[in-house]
Structure 1
Amino acid sequence: MRNAPLGIFDSGVGGLTVVRAVQQLLPSEDIVYLGDTARVPYGSKSPETIRQFAHEDVRFLLDRGVKTVVVACNTATAHALPSLQERYQVPIIGVIEPGVEAVLADPQAQRVGIIATRGTVRSHAYQHALALRRTGLILHATPAPLLVPLVEEDWLDHPSTHAALHTYLDPMLDRGIDTLLLACTHYPLLVPVLSKFLPDGVRLVDSATTCAEHVKQELTKLDLLAEEEKAGKLEIHLTDLSDQFEDLSRRFLARSPGRIMRVSL
């Protein structure tokens, strides 16, 4: 199984930031990516529907012989990860636990801001996991629904994006947060802007990088790292395909995505 591909899925193309981070950290791994672009966003759906979609996504990847599945979607991780891990035999990794571990790696973290989709904030998954692991944390979780469309529009350094960031982050900064957790896989593309936006002393934690690091740890522990030293291949499957998604894929990966295939679940 070592040379079998990794499976990664998201409700759209945001999970390609996780693919990019995994490629940088584990360049020999083959990856099969599924973006459920026909049914994006998951964040506005009911928990039952999210779980149904997530199981369909996992079965698609398992049919392609993957050795591990990465749920590169915060909303799907929040609502579906336990049921996925219970049902399937392969290791299934979500994005929430790695983000929580990265926040808590700093013993000085006391006031944590979290920005995410409405569905992720509403699930309380991050808030619950952080509070269980460290008592006394002060948490400020804010839905930031405008950021995903702004990122997809490539308005990363646009006045509208700056205005949205001020709206979402100023109340947190006024409350003295020392850590900001980006709990959506679209948000790592905003890191250059956020690095200038945030005052000194506020640590930035993004779910894509932390998830990739966790994937490497898990594959090492399970002796599932690819044996061959080669350039890993990437297959991208989308449930809806348009020119926009090809452009987005290129932007999220910072390279040509190659061939993108349209599939039905």
Structure 2
Amino acid sequence: MLSGSPIGVFDSGIGGLTVFRSIVEQLPGYDYLYLGDNGRAPYGNRSFNTIHKYTWECVQWMFKQGCPLVILACNTASAKALRTIQQQDLPKDNADKRVLGVIRPTAEVIGDYTKTKQIGVLGTKGTVQSGSYLLEIEHFSPDLKVYQQACPLWVPLIENGEYNKPGADYYVKLYLDQLMNQSSDIDTILLACTHYPLLQDKIKAHLPGHINVVAQGDIVATSLVDYLQRHLEMEQRLTKNGNRQFYTTIDDTPDFDRHASLFFADNVKSEYVDVREGC
């Protein structure tokens, strides 16, 4: 386990690594702990109660490893668990800890990417059904028209290493067509799942060149930089030795390591954990 007070980054699987890489690029000096709940992925089709239970177990485990700040680098967890964690769970026993999500930072800036004021949101079934993006984007950019499309097979393709194979093209085109059929004026598509950037090349190949495809990594990282500048009491608690540690809830750690090593120059060596112990 890491010593000190690292920033925790959590995802249901490997998708959060797309955000984690951007965070490390913008804030390289900090200590980090990444946890992928691969053993229970995907989260997208699960109920609110189950997603909250799983997410809170993982967050509590990261708190026990010394993380005073945890980033939910998972749209489904941010949509279905973050509010309950912030408003009910943290005040009980962890009032000095903070948990942040990826939806609000993205909603704050997505309006800057569109000229037609019509955007598409691609997400898991859970994220789409929650309506979180509709509510948050309405709050920050009420002039935008938002169209949503659930892509329930994309995360399983990615978690099983099929995202860069020809067979994935069928399912990429299937959901893109369903989204674009809702409006021909969509000029910006938000990848509202941190797994989806792994499909970004295929997504762009099936879209007209004028459509912006927006991933969340840099947006979330920039928002975290701003957060730490505004909350020095938290920033000063974090240790800064440039350490990174990876954990997964699936016992096939070499498979996780192969995926994670795509994002970082060094070979990743993760450890298996059971986050349910003691929760």
With normalisation by structure 1, the TM-score equals 0.89
Is 1:181 the counterpart of 2:190 in the alignment?
Answer: yes
Amino acid at match of 1:10: D
Is it true that 1:158 corresponds to 2:165 in the alignment? yes
Residue in 2 that maps onto 1:64? 65
One-letter amino acid matched to 2:121 = I
Q: Return the offset for 1:135.
A: 2.6
Matched pairs, number: 263
Match of 1:262 among 267, 273, 276: 273
CA distance in 2, matches of 1:249, 1:67: 24
Q: Secondary structure at the match of 1:200?
A: coil
Contact 1:103 1:109 in 2 (8 A): no
Contact 1:37 1:241 in 2 (8 A): no
Equivalent of 2:119 in 112, 121, 136:
112
Superposed, which structure 2 residues align to 1:74-223 within 5 Å? 74-86=75-87, 87=90, 88=94, 89-106=96-113, 108=115, 110-174=117-181, 175=183, 176-223=185-232
Cα pair distance change 1:221/1:77, threshold 3 Å: same
The 8 Å contact of residues 45 and 152 in structure 2, kept in 1 or not, is answered as no
**8 Å contact 1:99–1:206 — kept in the other structure?**
no
What percentage of residue pairs aligned between the two structures are identical?
33
What is the CA–CA distance in structure 2 between the aligned matches of 1:152 and 1:16, rounded to whole Å?
A: 12
Residue equivalent to 2:43: 42
Post-superposition shift, 1:264? 3.5
> What amino acid sits opposite 2:84 in the alignment?
S
Distance in 2 between residues matched to 1:241 and 1:252, nearest whole Å? 21
Stretch moving more, 83-92 or 226-235 = 226-235
Shift of 1:245: 2.1
- Offset of 1:43 from its aligned partner? 1.7
SS at structure 2 position matched to 1:159: coil
Judged with a 3 Å threshold, the aligned counterparts in structure 2 of structure 1 residues 47 and 216 are, in CA distance, closer, same or farther, namely: same
Give the deviation of 1:52 after TM superposition: 1.6
| 1:26 CA displacement | 0.9
1:33 and 2:34 equivalent? yes
CA distance in 2, matches of 1:44, 1:252: 26
Query: Which residue is equivalent to 1:234?
Result: 244
Quote how far apart the aligned CAs of 1:18 are. Answer: 1.5
For residue 81 of structure 1, report the CA deviation from its aligned partner.
1.0
Alpha-carbon distance change, 109 to 132 in structure 1, aligned in 2, over 3 angstroms: farther
The change in CA–CA distance for 1:15 and 1:107 in structure 2 (over 3 A counts) is: closer
1:37 and 1:172, CA in 2 relative to 1: closer, same or farther beyond 3 A? closer
Partner of 1:246: 257
Shift of 1:229: 11
Please, which moves more after superposition, 136-145 or 73-82? 136-145
Q: What amino acid is the match of 1:202?
A: I
Note the alpha carbon deviations across 1:91-128, whole angstroms, 9 max, x for none: 22101112212312346351111111111111111122
Q: Is the 8 A contact 1:148 1:186 kept in 2?
A: yes
Quick check: 53-62 or 198-207, which moved more? 198-207
C-alpha contact (below 8 Å) 2:9/2:20 kept by paired residues: yes
Shift, 1:230, TM fit: 6.9
Query: Does residue 9 of the first structure (1) align with residue 10 of the second (2)?
Result: yes
Q: What's the TM-score once normalised by structure 2's chain length?
A: 0.85
Letter in 2 for 1:180: I
Q: Counterpart of 1:258 in structure 2: which amino acid?
A: K
Asked if structure 2 preserves the Cα contact closer than 8 Å seen for 1:102 and 1:205, the reply is no
d(CA) in 1 for partners of 2:262 and 2:164? 14
The structure-2 alpha-carbon separation of the partners of 1:70 and 1:229, relative to structure 1 and needing over 3 Å to count, comes to closer
Q: Which runs of 5+ in 2 are unaligned?
A: none
User: CA RMSD, aligned part only?
Assistant: 2.4
Q: Which amino acid aligns with 1:181?
A: L
